[in-house]
Structure 1
Amino acid sequence: MSSKIRLGILGGGGDSLIGVLHRIASAMYDKYQIVGGVFNPVWEENIGFANKIGLPTNRIYKDFDTLIEEEIKLPVNERMQVVSILTPNFLHFPMAKKLLENGFNVICEKPMTTTYEEAKILNQTLKMAQTVFAVTYTYTGYPMIRQMREMIKNGELGKIQKVDAQYYQGWINPVIHDKEKRSTTWRLNPEKSGISCCIGDIGTHAFDMLEYVSGVKIESVLADLNYLYADNKMDIDGTVLLRCSNNVKGVICTSQIATGEENSFIVKIYGDKAGLKWEQENPNYLYLMEDGKPFRVLKPGHAYNSDLSLEGTKLPPGHPEGIFDSMGNIYKGVAKAINKEPYNNGEFPTMVDGVRGMSFIEKAVESHQKGNVWVTIENVN
């Protein structure tokens, strides 16, 4: 029998970009084998997609509950070891909770749940289950983001004094200005997405990233969100001021109506000795800025990079690596945890990251609704 980790997938069928991303990422290091799942709630499309990607159909299930029921009947050395949740947001919590309660490891898309309360319940469930849980804040897998994290941790920027993240997209423009389209899109439906669209979808990436690379904790936020139309219940643009640990200040600017922008995610961290800047659309370049010194560009694959960066680098210097590689690095880290191998705690985002992300979403919305006031992010262990 194959020694690969047996992986099940929920959602991600058809032309889903996130489905392609996870399947390629899971195959990247030869650590996983997809053995089954539920790709679509419509049986014909579900089984048709399994046939299309060449999966045996004996473990393609009609629904999630059947998957759990049938998998736990199998011997431990045959059942799925980990299940990836790629469904719309409102399904994340019930699926993850039931998987944990039945002893499965879980890889979950973000936002982890639709409410902070659900996130806290899931955290307690994980403590009881003692399995592995990862949230796919994908961009933490980039080698130069990991290099950024290690340089800051090693004090190369000195005392951190400002953090800044900008995440601009323009994809929702064709939807938001059409009353019928915006009322039928699940991203703008609170029952399926939770209380936030822009902050929940991309703002949570920025929040997690700033904490991941800088090492500071965001303690309170003041948000000003834009809904654009009175009948639209979900934010599609927003600015959030940040107060962080160690008296660090910062800002997160997010938008899905930044006309012409594709996926412009920019992360900047400034210390009293130097600053670092990274752009997702040019992910192989990490810019090092120091007063009175030439501007420097660091690139992946070179010996001057940290072990964590080099561990996530698959190609020699000069060969571009992208988002598939970033997600692949997260899957690789989860595989180490499942196999009880040593791993760096920066190799994949955890339950705590997911819970804090949910707290950020709710507090940003609360800050806006209370008239743009400061509200506190709760600590979680």
Structure 2
Amino acid sequence: MSSKIRLGILGGGSNSLIGVVHRIASSMFDKYQLVGGIFNSNHKDNLGFAKSIGLPSNRVYSDLDILVTEELKLSKEKRIQVVSVLTPNFLHYSMAKKLIENGFHVICEKPLTTTYAEAKDLFNAAEKANIIFAVTYTYTGYPMVRQMREMILNGVIGKVQKIDAQYYQGWINPIIHDVEKRKNTWRLNPEKSGISCCIGDIGTHAFNMLEYVSGVTIESILADLNHVYEDNVMDIDGTVLLRGTNKVKGVICASQIATGEENDFQVKIYGDKAGLKWEQENPNYLYLMEEGKPIQTLKPGHEYNSAISLDGTKLPPGHPEGIFDAMGNIYKGVARAINNEEYNVGEFPNLLEGLRGMNFIEKSVESHKRGNVWVSIE
């Protein structure tokens, strides 16, 4: 019998980009075997998609209740061990809660839920059940992001004194100016997306990344959000000022109406000795900046990188890796945790990070609605 971790997936079928990313990522390192799931809400489409990727129909289920019931009938050596939740935001909580209560490990897309209260309930339930729960803040899987984190932890840039993240996209620009289109986009529907679009979708990536690489805990924020039209209840652009531990200050600028931008995510951490800068669209380059010296460019795969960076590098220097590889590194970290192997705490984003992300989303909206005032992050 295969020693691979048996994986189930909820969502991510048909033409889903995120579904492709997760399936390819899980296949890296030979740690997982996809054995079943629910890929589409329409069961006929569900079965058709499963067949197209080579899965037998007997473990493709019509709903989550049936999946749980049928899988628990199988022996521990055969049943699904971990389930990836790739559905729209409003389904995350109920699905993850059901999985936790029945002993399945969980890998969940972000944002974790649609409310902080739901996220806190999941956190408590997962702790009680002692299961592994990962939240896919995918960019933390890039080797040079992990290198950035290790360099800061080891004092290369000195005492952190400013944190800065910019995440600009333009995809919603053609939609937001058309009344009918914006009414029919699930990202702009609070019943499916939650209370925030831009901050909930990409701003939370920036929040997580800044804490992940810098070691700073963000303690309070002041947000100024933009809806563009009065009948659009969801933010699609925003600026958030940050105050963190050790009196560190910073800013997150996020937008989905940055016309012409594709996926421009930049992270900059400045210390009293040096600064580090990383750009998602050029992920193989980490820039080290020191006063009076030429900028140094660090790249993955070289011996000067940290153990966690090298562990996440699959190819020799000069061979670009990308988003699939970053997600694959997260799946590898989860596999180590499930298998009770030794792993670095930075190998995958955990449930606490998902919980803090939800708190950040709600507090950003609260700060904006209260007239752009400072509010505390729990």
The answer, yes or no, to whether TM exceeds 0.5 is yes
- Give the counterpart letter for 1:226 in structure 2: N
- Separation of aligned partners in 1, 2:305 and 2:251: 28
Shift of 1:174: 1.4
Q: Distance in 2 between matches of 1:111 and 1:276?
A: 27
Q: Distance in 2 between matches of 1:233 and 1:46?
A: 33
Q: Post-superposition shift, 1:294?
A: 1.1
**Partners of 1:66 and 1:35 in 2: CA distance:** 15
- Which residue in the other structure is 1:40 paired with? 40
1:17-32 alignment, distance < 5 Å? 17-32=17-32
Residue aligned with 1:358, SS: helix
Aligned to 1:283: 283
Helix, strand or coil at the partner of 2:325: helix
Equivalents in 2 of 1:227, 1:102: separation in Å?
40
Find the aligned partners of 2:117 and 2:86 in 1 and give their Cα distance.
21
1:120, 1:143 → 2: CA distance? 30
Instruction: Output aligned runs, 1:258-277, within 5 Å.
Output: 258-277=258-277
Matched, 1:150 2:150: yes
Aligned to 1:295: 295
Matched residue SS, 1:304:
coil
Task: Give the share of equivalent positions with the same residue, in percent.
Answer: 76
Q: Which residue of 2 aligns with 1:337?
A: 337
Q: CA deviation at 1:73?
A: 1.1
SS at match of 1:28: helix
Does 2:350 correspond to 1:350? yes
Once the 2 structures are TM-superposed, how far is the Cα of residue 141 of structure 1 from its aligned partner? 0.1
Measure how far apart 1:128 and its partner are. 1.0
Amino acid at match of 1:81: Q
Equivalent in the alignment of 2:178: 178
CA distance in structure 1 between the aligned counterparts of 2:207 and 2:347, rounded to whole angstroms? 17
SS of residue in 2 equivalent to 1:72 = helix
Greater CA drift, 176-185 or 267-276: 176-185
| Counterpart secondary structure, 1:200 | helix
**How far off is 1:229 after superposition?**
0.6
**2: CA distance, partners of 1:236 / 1:206:** 15
Aligned residue number for residue 198 of structure 1: 198
Runs (5+) with no aligned partner, structure 2:
none
Mapped to 1, the partners of 2:234 and 2:55 lie a distance apart of: 38
Distance 2:18 2:301 in 1: 27
Matches for 1:207-286 after TM superposition, within 5 Å: 207-286=207-286
Tell me by how many angstroms 1:64 deviates: 1.2
Worse-matched range after superposition: 283-292 or 56-65: 56-65
Mapped to 2, the partners of 1:196 and 1:68 lie a distance apart of 31
In structure 2, distance between residues paired with 1:23 and 1:177: 35
TM-score, structure 2 normalization: 1.00
Look up the match of 2:306: 306
* 1:132-167 residue CA offsets vs partner (Å, 9 max, x unmatched): 000000000000000000000000000100000000
**2:184 maps to 1:160:** no
Q: RMSD of the TM alignment (CA)? A: 0.4
The gaps in structure 1 that reach 5 residues or longer are none
**Structure 1 ranges of 4+ moved more than 6 A:** none
- Structure-1 residue corresponding to 2:365: 365
Aligned length: 378
Counterpart residue number, 2:107: 107
Aligned counterparts of 2:76 and 2:308: Cα–Cα separation in 1: 33
* Whole-angstrom CA distance in 1 between matches of 2:362 and 2:152: 29
Give the aligned partner of residue 73 of structure 1: 73
1:262-298 superposed Cα distances (whole Å, 9 cap, x missing partner)? 0000000000000000000000000000001111000
The whole-number CA distance in structure 1 between the counterparts of 2:128 and 2:298 is 43
Tell me which moved more, 172-181 or 16-25: 172-181
User: How do residues 316-335 of structure 1 correspond to structure 2 at under 5 angstroms?
Assistant: 316-335=316-335
Deviation at 1:44, TM superposition (A): 1.0
Q: Which position in structure 2 is the counterpart of 1:169?
A: 169
TM-score, normalised by the number of residues in structure 1: 0.99
Q: Partner of 2:131: helix, strand, or coil? A: coil
Q: Give the Cα–Cα distance (whole angstroms) in 2 for the partners of residues 295 and 103 of structure 1.
A: 49
Residue 119 of structure 1 deviates from its aligned partner by: 0.6
Residue 65 of structure 1: CA displacement? 1.3
Secondary structure at the residue paired with 1:316?
coil
Q: Distance in 2 between matches of 1:365 and 1:129?
A: 32
User: Is residue 124 of structure 1 aligned with residue 124 of structure 2?
Assistant: yes
